[in-house]
C-alpha cells in the first residue's frame, strides 16, 4: 500500500500506524512510512521528493508497544498512545471539568475530558516535535525528519 504519487520534499506528513496489531506496511497511509525506495514512487530525484511520511506507533507508559498498535518496518517512531487524557466533546456529555482558574458559569472555562487510546493519540506528540524541528531547520523537511529520528531513543520498543 505504498503511495503511487511522490510526496514533494517540502511536505512533512505524520500519520497513525493503525490499531490492528498487524504489520503497518499493509495499511494506508501507514504503509508509506519507513524507508521508501523512491524508484517505487516514481520519484527519480531524491532532492525533489522524499517519502515525507512519518508513521507513528503507540506505546504504553512503560515504553512497551500498545497491544493494538501496528508495527513493522513502516513504523518510523513510537510515542505515547495508551490511556491519553485530552479535551473531548461529545453531544450529550454532562460531566464538565473546570479548567484551572475557571468558574463553572463561564462557558469559556468549562471543558470535557476523555481518556482514550490509539495511534491517533500518539501522532500529536510527534507532530509537535516535528513542528519544532521544522522551525529549527528553517522548513527543511529532510533535516527536520533526520533530527526527529536522531532525537528519538533507539531500541526501546
pLDDT digits (tens, 9 = 90+) for 54-102: 999 999 999 999 999 999 999 999 999 999 998 776 655 555 554 444 4
Q: What is the CA radius of gyration of the chain?
A: 18
**Helices 141-151 & 119-136 angle (0-180, nearest 10):** 120
End-to-end CA distance of the chain: 24
CA–CA separation, 76 vs 148, rounded Å?
10
This prediction has a pTM of 0.76
pLDDT digits (tens, 9 = 90+) for 97-112: 544 444 454 444 445 7
pLDDT at 16 over 90: yes
Give the long-range contacts of residues 49-52, CB within 8 A, separation 24 or more.
49/6, 49/7, 49/8, 49/9, 50/7, 50/9, 50/141, 50/142, 50/145, 51/7, 52/7, 52/8, 52/9, 52/11, 52/12, 52/13, 52/141
pLDDT at 94: 57
pLDDT at 43 over 70: no
Amino acid at each position: 500500500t505504498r503511495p503511487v504519487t511522490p510526496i514533494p520534499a517540502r511536505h512533512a506528513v505524520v500519520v497513525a500506524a493503525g490499531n490492528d496489531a498487524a504489520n503497518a506496511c499493509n495499511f494506508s497511509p501507514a504503509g508509506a512510512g519507513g524507508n521508501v525506495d523512491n524508484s517505487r514512487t516514481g520519484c527519480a530525484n531524491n532532492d525533489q521528493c522524499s517519502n515525507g511520511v512519518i508513521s507513528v506507533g503507540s506505546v504504553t507508559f512503560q515504553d512497551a508497544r500498545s497491544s493494538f498498535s501496528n508495527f513493522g518496518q513502516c513504523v518510523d517512531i513510537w510515542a505515547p498512545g495508551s490511556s491519553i487524557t485530552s479535551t473531548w466533546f461529545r453531544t450529550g456529555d454532562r460531566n464538565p471539568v473546570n479548567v484551572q482558574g475557571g468558574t463553572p458559569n463561564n462557558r469559556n472555562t468549562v471543558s470535557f475530558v476523555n481518556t482514550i487510546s490509539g495511534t491517533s493519540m500518539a501522532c500529536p506528540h510527534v507532530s509537535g516535535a516535528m513542528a519544532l524541528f521544522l522551525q529549527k531547520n528553517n522548513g527543511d523537511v529532510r533535516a527536520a525528519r533526520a533530527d526527529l529520528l536522531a532525537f528519538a531513543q533507539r531500541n526501546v520498543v
